Amino acid sequence: MRIKSPRDFWAGAMFTGFGLFFVAWSFAHYQMGSAVRMGPGYFPAVLGGLLVLLGVGVLLQSMAFSGPKVEAFHFKPLIFVCVSVLAYGYLMQPGGLAVATAAAVIIGAMAGNEFKWKEVLIVALVLVIFSYLVFVKGLTLPFPMCPSFVENCPIR
Amino acid sequence: MDVLDNLILGAQVAFSWQNVLYCLIGVLLGTLIGVLPGIGPVPTIAMLLPITFNLDPIAALIMLSGIYYGSQYGGSTTAILVNLPGEAASVVTVLDGHQMARQGRAGPALAISAIGSFVAGCIATLVIATAAPPLAEVALKFGPAEYFSLMVLGLVAATVLAHGSLVKAIAMVVLGLLLGLAGTDVNSGVLRFTFGVPELADGIGFVIVAMGMFGVTEIVANLEQRSKREVFVGKVTHLFPTKEDLKRSWAPILRGTALGSFLGILPGGGALLSSFASYTVEKKVSKHPEQFGKGAIEGVAGPESANNAGAQTSFIPMLTLGIPGNAVMALMIGALMIQGIAPGPQVMTDKPELFWGLIASMWLGNAMLVVLNLPLIGIWIKLLQVPYRFLFPAILIFMNVGVFSLSNNPWDCLIMSVFGVFGYICVKLECEPAPMILGFILGPLMEENLRRAMLLSRGDPTVFFDPVNKPISFSFLLAALALLVIIALPNIRKKREEVFVEET
């Protein structure tokens, strides 16, 4: 057996893996019950089994029919965008809205093909002001404005 | 006339100055995000969901639905002028719309898409007004078996949407169903697939999954392409279509509307499926199929009408059955629940002002959209000239705000980026995220109805396909099976691939 369609092969492998995991985890940790009174494990186990079947089907397909290769992964934009999202979430509490927004913009902008500090800083400033006016003032979302070490935040 | 009385009631609600204002905000925002590629109605509505808590339920619903159908108008502007779909549902508009723009006929293309959308919007509103009440009456008789079978049909219909392999699309649906089960099991109180993480006890937020798989993935995919966007900068002149244009367009507009109205009602349907179907139909019935892809106005008129009609009639299953047919409708259900309204057939009888007010507001909103999109087109063109390197950080921040404001917990951002990575892998393996999202939404609902039906039938699985005692459930499953067979048939399968190949 040779892999004729790498893209389908990996997709099939992914589905089979997920399916096996859900079946095994359901049997190991949850009660199955019966068809009349289904336990918490019943539905996930059945679906997991179905997913294994489908995954194996895709795997077999990938051996039978030729198909395209998996396109190259571009890790740079992926990593910077994800880190930007994380920076926003994890800097909000200690740093406040301005710090979180600016950090997310700067890190996020590094994902792009062009990076000019001046432009990026202007975009960051605009978005901080916009977020303050629209989300905090206008929509009254409870975001912290000041870094957490400032005890009585003067901005609200 | 009952419908007329109801529509008058609805108009009274929708034309109060407050609701007119929220309708305007909705359609304005909708056009804005429709024009901007890379941000769609899902993240926008998700972002606004927390703040609708402070609004009147009807105002909230009017604004959120305005965003959805407004984005259908805006999406076509980008498709025609930039050769990029501003919205997923305007993918096919790119084919002929942009060609028309290159031939100096951007004006008529924009006008026809707005006129078509408006006609479709008006007719679809009538369809909702006449079709929803009887459907709700039938739905009141639905038991768990019928609901389960209906969801099976919806999920099968969702796989029609997906590109490429049918098996992969079904696998994505099943994976979505499984991921939707994470969290506390309502029947036993057992925590499933939470791995001891307290944040997972309520399950994975649907908004977070949708923003990760669509929003984050979309930005990364846009960035890696490095393609220069060619904006059609020339001044758009001669907005009005010629007599010839109108003559060629009226039939496609009506056909697109009919097709969109029908496909929108199907669970799993909506704007996207409708526009694809309409393009295929127009190409089939046209006397000049060779003009398609080279600036045939029919290829703009049909799909643009269809996607607007589909966007609006997809409200029908949400309003009458409480079943979300697509991601936007799932958010609408979320908005109703925030207001303490349980979605389902009883909404129409318990809160007629909500249901009919929403319908009347759609009419109003469509009229506003024509004004927003035709005379004010210059503003949107200006917006399109903003380079992507300024736009994507802003989109990223808005998505962050939307996700973070759900519970002020950085954990949600973490999950969003995990799903962003997963979505990117799926794109590379050609596994569509849309069917997975639908499965994710319906997973818990399906399990609950399955369990209830099996309990009532004392474990007899024939309860789902008994033609005598459960004719409705039986016909849903039969339709699902027929649909599967039809898609799997080699002939149609090839056709389906052709449609999707053309788009790339």
Task: Tell me the ipTM for this assembly.
Answer: 0.92
Give the Cα separation of B261 and B313 in Å (integer). Answer: 6
Give the Cα separation of A35 and B75 in Å (integer). Answer: 47
- pLDDT over threshold 90, residue B445: no
Packing angle, helices B271-285 and B144-161, rounded to 10: 60
Give the Cα separation of B459 and B437 in Å (integer). Answer: 30
- Using left for φ > 0, alpha for ψ between -120 and 50, and beta otherwise, residue B41 falls in alpha
Query: What pLDDT does B503 receive?
Result: 38
In tens, the pLDDT along B156-183 reads 877 765 556 788 889 999 999 999 888 8
- pLDDT over threshold 70, residue B153: yes
In tens, the pLDDT along B229-250 reads 555 555 666 677 778 888 888 8
Backbone angles phi, psi at B192, to 5 degrees: -110, 135
Say if CB B397 and CB A127 are below 8 A apart. yes
Query: What pLDDT does B439 receive?
Result: 86
Q: Is B492 on the interface with A (CB under 8 A)?
A: no
In tens, the pLDDT along B84-114 reads 777 777 778 888 888 888 888 888 888 888 8
Name chain B contacts of A77, Cβ cutoff 8 Å: 219-220, 223-224
Give the Cα separation of B343 and B345 in Å (integer). Answer: 7
Distance from CA of A76 to the nearest CA of B (A): 9
> Of all residues in chain B, what percent carry a pLDDT higher than 70?
92
* Least confident span in A26-35, B383-392, B410-419, B484-493: B484-493
Asked whether the beta carbons of residue A123 and residue B450 sit closer than 8 angstroms, the reply is no
Interval B283-302 mean pLDDT: 84
Query: What pLDDT does B398 receive?
Result: 85
Query: What pLDDT does B504 receive?
Result: 33
Query: What pLDDT does A52 receive?
Result: 95
The residue length of chain A stands at 156
Strand, helix or coil for residue A33: strand
Q: Which of A36, A65, A85, A93 would you mutate first to test chain B, the one with the most B CBs within 10 A?
A: A85
Say if CB B193 and CB B182 are below 8 A apart. yes
Q: What residue has token string 């909230």?
A: B60
Asked whether the beta carbons of residue B413 and residue A142 sit closer than 8 angstroms, the reply is no
With CA atoms as reference, the chain B residue closest to A88 would be B400
Query: What pLDDT does B502 receive?
Result: 41
* Least confident span in A78-82, B376-380, B450-454: B376-380
Beta bridge partners of B192: B183
- The CA-atom distances, in angstroms, between B400 and each of A83, B215, B328, B390 are 12, 10, 18, 16
Query: What pLDDT does B269 receive?
Result: 63
Q: What residue has token string 């997906």?
A: B162
Q: HEC states along B90-155?
A: HHHHHHHHHHHHHCCCHHHHHHHHHHHHHHHHHHHHHHHHHHHHHHHHHHHCCCHHHHHHHHHHHH
Interval B405-412 mean pLDDT: 86
Q: Which of B178, B226, B451 is the closest to A38 by Cβ?
A: B451
Give the Cα separation of B128 and B120 in Å (integer). Answer: 12
Asked whether the beta carbons of residue A7 and residue B404 sit closer than 8 angstroms, the reply is no
Cβ contacts from A onto B, under 8 A:
188
Strand, helix or coil for residue A2: coil
Query: What pLDDT does A22 receive?
Result: 92
Which tokens go with B432? 């569509």
Distance from CA of B246 to the nearest CA of A (A): 42
Query: What pLDDT does B233 receive?
Result: 55
pLDDT in single tens digits along all 156 residues of chain A: 678 888 889 999 999 999 999 999 988 888 888 888 888 888 899 999 999 999 999 999 888 888 788 888 888 889 999 999 999 999 988 888 889 999 999 998 888 888 888 888 999 999 999 888 888 887 777 888 888 777 777 776
The more confident residue out of B68 and B461 is: B68
pTM of the entire predicted model: 0.83
Which tokens go with A36? 């009349």
Asked whether the beta carbons of residue B171 and residue A51 sit closer than 8 angstroms, the reply is yes
Say if CB B240 and CB B64 are below 8 A apart. no
Interval B191-212 mean pLDDT: 83
Q: Which residues contact A114 (CB under 8 A, 6 or more apart)?
A: B389
Interval B27-38 mean pLDDT: 85
Interval B124-146 mean pLDDT: 85
Query: What pLDDT does A139 receive?
Result: 74
Distance from CA of B297 to the nearest CA of A (A): 34
| 146-165 in chain B: CB under 8 A from chain A | 165
